[in-house]
Structure 1
Amino acid sequence: MERKEFLKKGFSALTLAAFIPMIGCSGDTVDPETDISTGTTTGTGSSAEISSGTCTATASETAGPFPTKVPGSLVLDDITSGRTGNKLTIQITIQNKNAGCAALSGALVDIWHCDAAGNYSEYGGTGMQSTSYTSVHFLRGRQTTDASGLVRFTSIYPGWYSGRAPHIHVHVYNASGKSLLVTQIAFPEDISKLVYAQGVYASHGQADTTNAHDNVFSDGVGTEMPSVTGNVSTSFALTHTIVVSA
């Protein structure tokens, strides 16, 4: 089955169940608006709407089809692992909806995304992804939230693959390894267009799927759109808040 066909059909309950053991924490050990004239880009979304002491939980999404197989072995802040592209610093804050959106410290946060050509590490050699990267682990990592509920990663701006808008996968666990949320982070389309027009991204071209036509984001990105600032000449910074029920 081609990856695009898989994504259009979505996960069945059986397919999703098959992935759950792969993304679980069991056995893991964790150590404690665009200005084209200047090239500067800023994209902002409502990642967590907070008002009058209430907050909105971040949308739950699929982890597949390429979840990290053993996330506990990838405790990294720099997840680049030699992949080339525009530098992207990632700051994610985890908040607890059950505590009035207070910061959630000690949470485990796994992220993963594709490279500039749209390929994932740990997979390949199949119809889902022809290029094989089964023996490497680039663009995957785990961090533990600090007292402010914050984790930081250094990566590259994600590429895209057919049938999906650009995105980053996120899986949040509590300190004991219980899964709290699987979600995804979207990207502002105006910024992605500038990125994909230059450098190592140019040969892959522009993304073929917008957020509105993406099978994950088509119902809205109100809780999944971060703030993205920076420019193609230097680097980008992504800031996002994810609200879980802990």
Structure 2
Amino acid sequence: MERNEFLKRGFSSLLGLAVLTACKNNVVVDPTTGGTTAGTGSTNGNSASNCAVTPSETEGPFPTKVPANFVRQDIRADRTGVVTTMAITIKNGAAGCAPLAGAFVDVWHCDKDGYYSEYGGSGMQSLNLTNVDFLRGRQITDASGLVNFTTIFPGWYSGRAPHVHVHVFNAAGKSLLVTQIAFPYAVTNVVYTTAQASGYTKGTQDTTNERDNVFNDGYANELGTVTGSVSGGYSLTHTIVVNA
């Protein structure tokens, strides 16, 4: 089965509308002048009154095979691209959105060219990367429910909007939630159209969040807050609410 058939891709004929929608909540400054790009994400989990559990999503066709092998904060390995930090906070919706300490948080995403480690050599991903393990990591939440990762800005592949996969377990190893983090279009468009020197040469993504087969049913609680610039790097912050 071809990868694009598996993902049920669709070309984004409503790209202009998506740009207008994104710009309502994002501020973009021309990066050629040294400015920054910023995308405002979800406010979910900010209080007990705004504490809906984050939507569950598929692990996708490329989940981490043995997450316990990748207890590391810097998950870049040999991958190059625009440096990006991720600060992910886990909160417990069953306890008034209190921070969830001691939880395992696994993350993984594709590289700047749209490829995943640990997989390949098949119709799902032609490039064989079965012997490498970049852009996969695990951390344990602190007393504030926070984990941090250093990575690169994810690329994109046909049929999917840019995203990061997240799997949250409690301290006993019980699975609590599999979800994904979406990116503001205003930010991704800047990276993909101006960061050629960092290797982003594919141009603008072919699928927006609104047309994505994972996010198109609503991604308000999955949208990360992203700030920074191509030259200085980006920071993603996001809160995920689970029932623990």
TM-score by length of 2: 0.88
Distance 2:225 2:65 in 1: 29
| Length, aligned pairs only | 223
Q: 1:130 to 1:52 in 2, by over 3 A?
A: closer
* Residues 46-55 or 184-193, more deviating: 46-55
1:35 aligns with 2:29: yes
Q: Which runs of 5+ in 2 are unaligned?
A: 10-26
Equivalence for 2:12: none
1:166 and 2:157 are equivalent in the alignment? no
Answering whether residue 7 of structure 2 is matched by residue 2 of structure 1, we say no
1:235 to 233, 236, 244: 233
1:27-46 superposed Cα distances (whole Å, 9 cap, x missing partner): xxxxxx21114430110112
Of 179, 190, 195, 1:194 maps to 190
Question: Aligned partners of 1:191 and 1:141: how far apart in 2?
Answer: 24
User: How far off is 1:52 after superposition?
Assistant: 5.7
**What's the counterpart of residue 210 of structure 2?**
212
Give the 3-state SS of the residue equivalent to 1:39 in structure 2: coil
Q: Distance in 2 between matches of 1:68 and 1:188?
A: 25
- The AA in structure 2 aligned to 1:7 is L
SS at match of 2:201: helix
1:73-84 matches, cutoff 5 A = 73-84=69-80
Find the aligned partners of 1:238 and 1:54 in 2 and give their Cα distance: 20
Mapped to 1, the partners of 2:128 and 2:106 lie a distance apart of 22
2:54 and 2:189 map into 1 onto residues whose CA distance is: 26
1:44, 1:117 → 2: CA distance?
A: 25
Contact map agreement 2:52 2:241 (CA 8 A) in 1: yes
Distance of aligned partners of 1:190 and 1:50 in 2 relative to their CA distance in 1, 3 Å threshold: same
Change (3 A) 1:109 1:163: same
- Tell me the equivalent position of 1:128: 124
C-alpha distance in 2 between matches for 1:40 and 1:136: 33
Distance 1:158 1:225 in 2: 14
- Which digits, 9 at most, give the CA deviation of each residue in 1:187-220, with x for residues without a partner? 0111111111223444222211000000001011
Deviation (angstroms), 1:226: 1.2
SS at match of 1:204: coil
Q: Give, in whole Å, the separation in 1 of the partners of 2:43 and 2:202.
A: 29
> What is the distance in 2 between the residues matched to 1:205 and 1:54?
37
- Structure 1 unaligned spans of 5+: 10-32
Q: Distance in 2 between matches of 1:223 and 1:89?
A: 20
Whether contact under 8 Å (2:88, 2:239) holds in the other structure is: yes
What is the CA–CA distance in structure 2 between the aligned matches of 1:83 and 1:139, rounded to whole Å? 8
Q: Equivalent residue of 1:153, what SS?
A: strand
Asked if 1 retains the 8 angstrom alpha-carbon contact of 2:44 and 2:50, the reply is: no
* 1:54 to 1:233, Cα distance in 2 relative to 1, 3 A: closer
